[in-house]
Amino acid sequence: MQIAVVDYGMGNLRSVVKAIEHVAPNDAHVVLTDAPEVILESDRVVFPGQGAAAQCMQALHERRLTPALREAARTRPFLGICMGMQVLLERSEENEGVDLLGWFPGQVRRFQPTDHRLKVPQMGWNQMHQTQDHPLFDGIRQDARFYFVHSYYCEPAEPAHQVATAEYGLSYCAALADEYVFAIQAHPEKSAEDGLRLLANFTRWKGPWS
User: Would you please indicate which residues are annotated as catalytic (active-site) residues?
Assistant: 82, 187, 189
Distance between CA atoms of 181 and 200, rounded to whole angstroms? 16
**Among 16, 9, 86, 10, CA closest to 45:** 16
For residue 126, which phi and psi values (nearest 5 degrees)? -150, 150
**Among 185, 202, 86, 84, CA closest to 140:** 202
Contact 163, 186 (CB under 8 A): no
**Among 3, 20, 162, 16, CA closest to 82:** 16
Residues contacting residue 193 through CB under 8 Å, at least 6 positions apart: none
Element (H, E) at 197: helix 192-204
